[in-house]
Amino acid sequence: MIGAVPGIVLAVALLGGLAAYLRVQRDPPPAWYADGGVISPTVGLTRTEKPSGVLRWLTTVDHKDIGLLYILFGTAAGLWGATDAMMMRTELLVPETVVWNVETYNAVFTTHGLTMLFFFVTPVFTGIGNYMLPLLLDADDMAFPRINAVAFWLLPPSLVLVRGGLISDVLGAVLGVLPIGVGALLALEPVSMGWTMYTPLSTEMANPQIDVTLLGLHLSGIATTMAAINFIVTIVTERPDDLGWDELDIFSWNMLVTSGLILLAFPLLGSTVILLLLDRNFGTTFFAIEGGGPMLWQHLFWFFGHPEVYILVLPAFGLISLILPKFCGRRLFGFRFIVYSTIAIGVMSFGVWAHHMFATGMDPRLRASFMAVSLAIAIPSAIKEFNWIATMWNGSLELSAPMICIVGAMSTFVIGGITGVFLAAVPVDLVLHDTHYVVGHFHLIVVGIIPLAMIAASYYWFPLITGRMYNQRLARAQATLLIVGAFVTFVPLLVLGYMGMPRRYAAYPAEFVGLNQVASIGAFVIGVSVVLWLVNLVQSIRVGPIVEDADVWNLKETGQFTREWQWFEDRIEKRRAERPLPDDHTGAESEPSEEATDPEKPD
């Protein structure tokens, strides 16, 4: 019976194709996108030509809708990954393995890493970029709106594949009460080889879920790469003629360099995981001892992996550089140098990968040269930091919620960055490698900067996206709490690393218990602050006060009322003019205000 299904599916597909072929045609639409979509004259302004409800979200090719989908998906994945983190820190409250078992701990730190890196950070930044980039560039949409949509829709299935072990176990447990065989579901265990998937461990582990996860990673890599190509082409070709490279905003510059890194890093990871898959299933020798060996895996992985850390962090740098000046009442200090430093980071990040392999007994001469480049890559990062500080210098600072996030991000970056410079020194790394010091180093960045920049962006643009305002006091408290949480969690890890506590173990010697408990409490503080953020924004989307004046942050005063806000202002004006627009959630209750603000275009 079931054997007939492929035929049926195929027949349906063919019929669909035939119907498409025979479809009655109307007049051509006014303009076409490069990937086959059409430009409608009313994109995003009203919903008259968009379907409503869930259909809208399934069929949308509007960059703003897709941006929101990305942000929602990334946030959901981030919360899932955060749950893993909370599980780990709960286990580490006590030296013995009593809360979970060793297998669960190993699985949780693996899926935590994979989820956060591939399904939280990059999707959220892609979403913010999707929403904002065309507005900042004054483009109609992304260059390839449909490829944009397909790149998004590939992500949910890849997440399911990557995290399949847990899903199948839960399903198996639920369905297990029924009298059907669930052995297949239970045979898939959550993967536990570590996010770096080092061979030979990853080739020898029997768990078949590893194969599924590798395929999921491959699919997500394709999606990420498609989005990156879209960003580059958009920035290169969709700018209006009067917007030259010298006027490109700093966030777009960062997205451009990030996308360039993705372009070269992700396809390599894709091929590498496929080679691993072949080794696991078909007896090839890519990472076998007689073939390329474990060192080949590490070289290929880190040639992707180091650029990946900048793929994660550059959009955050871009957001900081974009938003910070708005709350200092000054222009970004040294704009040009920040652009140069971004490009320099992009180029250099492909030349430092082996600093993750100092402890493997590689050739000392090679080691020394990688050490030199790794130390050098700290310079462009420092340039950014100093330019940010110089931007604040003598500025009239306004400690609004986005600004608090950004100042916090800048301060965590000082410690996160400097600890990286120490690690880049071979003798230091030989001691600290595989200790909690490394965990502290990179988490001060991946928790300190990245979510803080995202949250800063969410607070900064929330009024523009939803037309409503959130509770600013709660937001300020939440931002402060997050910063405190980040320091309380990760600075103790640095100390623990100095004391020699290894990473990736569920149990640890009893002498480390104090600092571990501090770190765990810090983690719970972070968790609470994330919940506060969520509650504030969700509640404000529903009932927050409606924004009547587009200049939420008094940007006109300092001449920083940039294009996206101008667009927002036009939209508010338009809505006022043609009220009533009952289907619009932001405009619905808004009364037209008498003192309609005069739109003054800054540029």
Partner 1 sequence: MGSADESSESDHHAPAPADWPRGFGEASWWPLATAVGAAGLYAGAALALLARGEDAIVGPALPSVLLVGGVGIFLASLYGWTYHGFVARYWKRAAGDGLDLRWGMVLFLATDVMTFAAGFVYFFFVRTGPWPPGELPHLLSSLVAINTAVLVASSVTLHVAHESIRGGHRRRFLAFLGATVVLGVVFVGGQLLEYYELLVVEGAALTDVFGSAFFALTGLHGLHVALGVILLAIVLVRAGRGQFSAERHTAVATTSMYWHFVDAVWLFLVVTLYVGSVA
Per CB under 6 A, contacts with ligand HEM among 374-433 are: 374, 377-378, 381, 417, 420-421, 423-424, 429, 433
CA atoms within 13 A on the CB side of 518: 15
Min CB(307)–Cu ion separation in Å: 9
Distances in whole angstroms, Cα of residue 502 to Cα of each of 358, 433, 511: 16, 9, 13
CB-nearer residue toward partner 1: 362 or 390? 362
CB-nearer residue toward Cu ion: 358 or 533? 358
CB-nearer residue toward partner 1: 509 or 592? 592
- Type of residue numbered 295: M
Min CB(429)–Cu ion separation in Å: 11
CB-nearer residue toward partner 1: 91 or 308? 308
Sort 89 into a burial class: Cβ within 10 Å, 0-12 / 13-18 / 19+: buried
CB-nearer residue toward partner 1: 292 or 522? 292
Binding partner selected for residue 276 from partner 1, Cu ion, ligand HEM, none, CB under the kind-specific 5 to 8 Å limit: none
Distances in whole angstroms, Cα of residue 108 to Cα of each of 154, 188, 397: 24, 15, 41
- Pick the closest to residue 259 from 238, 230, 222, 300 (CA basis): 230
Min CB(11)–partner 1 separation in Å: 9
Hey, what are 534's tokens?
């969520």
Distances in whole angstroms, Cα of residue 41 to Cα of each of 31, 44, 51, 573: 9, 9, 16, 18
- Judge contact between 424 and 375, C-beta under 8 A: yes
> Which residues face 31 on adjacent strands?
39
Sort 441 into a burial class: Cβ within 10 Å, 0-12 / 13-18 / 19+: buried
What are the phi and psi torsion angles at 41 (to 5°)? -70, -5
| Residue 442 engages ligand HEM in binding (rule: CB under 6 A) | yes
CB-nearer residue toward ligand HEM: 332 or 354? 354
Sign of CA dihedral 439, 444, 448, 454: negative
Binding partner selected for residue 291 from ligand HEM, Cu ion, partner 1, none, CB under the kind-specific 5 to 8 Å limit: partner 1
Binding partner selected for residue 190 from ligand HEM, Cu ion, partner 1, none, CB under the kind-specific 5 to 8 Å limit: none
Min CB(316)–Cu ion separation in Å: 16
Min CB(58)–partner 1 separation in Å: 5
Min CB(292)–partner 1 separation in Å: 5
Min CB(309)–ligand HEM separation in Å: 4
Min CB(442)–Cu ion separation in Å: 9
Among 63, 112, 280, 306, which residue sits at the site for Cu ion (rule: CB under 5 A)?
A: 306
Task: Tell me how long the chain is.
Answer: 603
CB-nearer residue toward partner 1: 21 or 364? 21
CB-nearer residue toward Cu ion: 129 or 417? 417
Binders of ligand HEM among 303-322, rule CB under 6 A? Answer: 309, 312-313
Closest residue to ligand HEM, judged by C-beta, is: 420
Binding partner selected for residue 378 from partner 1, ligand HEM, Cu ion, none, CB under the kind-specific 5 to 8 Å limit: ligand HEM
Look at the block and give the residue holding tokens 């969709």. Answer: 238
Stretch that binds Cu ion, among 33-41, 135-143, 303-311, 406-414 (CB under 5 A): 303-311
Stretch that binds ligand HEM, among 75-83, 143-151, 391-399, 434-442 (CB under 6 A): 434-442
- Pick the closest to residue 199 from 85, 277, 138 (CA basis): 277
- Where is 508: in which H helix or E strand? none
Q: Cα angle at 424 between 418 and 429, to 5 degrees?
A: 105
Min CB(334)–partner 1 separation in Å: 30
User: In sequence order, what are the residues at sequence separation of 6 or more whose Cβ sits closer than 8 angstroms to the Cβ of residue 520?
Assistant: 89, 90, 92, 93, 489
Binding partner selected for residue 513 from Cu ion, partner 1, ligand HEM, none, CB under the kind-specific 5 to 8 Å limit: none
CB-nearer residue toward ligand HEM: 334 or 440? 440
How far from each other are the two terminal CA atoms of the chain, in whole angstroms? 67
Min CB(3)–partner 1 separation in Å: 6
Binding partner selected for residue 23 from Cu ion, partner 1, ligand HEM, none, CB under the kind-specific 5 to 8 Å limit: partner 1
Among 50, 64, 355, 476, which residue sits at the site for ligand HEM (rule: CB under 6 A)?
A: 355
Instruction: Supply the DSSP string of 387-429, one letter for each residue.
Output: HHHHHHTT------HHHHHHHHHHHHHHHHHHHHHHHHSHHHH
253 alpha-carbon distance from chain centroid? 17
Binders of Cu ion among 160-199, rule CB under 5 A? Answer: none
Cα distance between residue 325 and residue 568, in whole Å: 20
CB-nearer residue toward ligand HEM: 355 or 476? 355
CB-nearer residue toward partner 1: 295 or 513? 295
Min CB(305)–Cu ion separation in Å: 7
Distances in whole angstroms, Cα of residue 114 to Cα of each of 84, 151, 252, 472, 504: 11, 19, 26, 33, 15
Stretch that binds Cu ion, among 25-33, 301-309, 473-481, 574-582 (CB under 5 A): 301-309
CB-nearer residue toward ligand HEM: 115 or 471? 115
> Which residues face 435 on adjacent strands?
502
Binding site for ligand HEM (CB under 6 A): 196, 309, 312-313, 355-356, 374, 377-378, 381, 417, 420-421, 423-424, 429, 433, 438, 441-442, 445-446
Binding site for Cu ion (CB under 5 A): 306
